């Protein structure tokens, strides 16, 4: 009888040990999944925040008269976006060869009409661009540009904006 009670105590200790280990493994897995989900949400929020810096200049809106009009962008806004793209490209040591139309590579390119790769311009070239193109030659009014939905691309691979093209309104 004494051996039976000892055997039952040992079996209970083993079961309690297995239970404790099982709870530990369950908690470890649960916390790992929670951590993975939180990291994915934080990464998605960072990507959205980065993209919003670019995408706030795209699209159309309905004015007070009910007309659908494109968002007007000045050349200074475009230069700011080009500088942001340049900073991103330099930070990740990307070159134009790291750009493709499908967006599988993270290089960001900014175009204005037929002028390509504004993000590669030097400070002097940017100043000349602003001097020559910010005002209408005839009326000396500020020129406005637009970037509609078909004029920008968000990569499916990197989920980052990788191309924007602005055309004069």
Number of domains composing the chain? 2
Which structural domain, as residue segments, surrounds residue 132?
58-168
CA 111 to chain centre: 18
Same domain, 45 and 89: no
Same domain, 48 and 105: no
**Cβ-based neighbours of 114, under 8 Å, separated by 6 or more:** none
Same domain, 43 and 84: no
Closest C-alpha to 88, from 42, 46, 25: 46
pLDDT digits (tens, 9 = 90+) for 38-90: 999 999 999 999 999 999 999 988 889 989 999 999 999 999 999 999 999 99
Per the DSSP assignment, residues forming a β-bridge with 68 are 62
Question: What percentage of the chain exceeds 90 in pLDDT?
Answer: 62
Tell the burial category of 105 from Cβ atoms under 10 Å away from its Cβ (0-12, 13-18, 19+). middle
Same domain, 78 and 34: no
Same domain, 66 and 39: no
pLDDT digits (tens, 9 = 90+) for 152-169: 999 888 899 999 999 998
pTM of the model: 0.76
Closest C-alpha to 5, from 13, 16, 17, 18: 13
Same domain, 103 and 90: yes
Same domain, 34 and 73: no
- Least confident segment among 96-105, 139-148, 159-168: 96-105
pLDDT digits (tens, 9 = 90+) for 10-38: 999 999 999 999 999 999 998 889 999 99
Output the CA torsion sign for 71, 77, 83, 88: negative
CB 34 within 8 A of CB 109: no
């Amino acid at each position: 009888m004494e051996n039976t009670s000892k055997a039952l105590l040992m079996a209970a200790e083993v079961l309690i040990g297995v239970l404790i280990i099982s709870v530990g493994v369950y908690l470890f897995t649960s916390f790992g999944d929670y951590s993975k989900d939180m990291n994915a949400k934080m990464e998605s929020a960072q990507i959205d925040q980065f993209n919003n810096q670019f995408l706030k200049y795209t699209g159309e809106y309905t004015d007070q008269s009910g007309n659908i009009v494109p968002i007007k962008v000045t050349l200074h806004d475009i230069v700011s976006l080009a500088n942001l793209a340049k900073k991103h490209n330099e930070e990740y040591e990307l070159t134009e060869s790291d750009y493709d139309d499908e967006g599988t590579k993270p290089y960001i390119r900014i175009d204005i009409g037929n002028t390509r790769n504004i993000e590669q311009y030097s400070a002097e070239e940017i100043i000349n661009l602003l001097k020559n193109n910010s005002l209408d030659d005839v009326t000396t009014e500020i020129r406005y540009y637009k970037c509609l939905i078909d004029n920008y691309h968000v990569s499916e691979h990197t989920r980052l904006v990788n191309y924007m093209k602005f055309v004069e309104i």
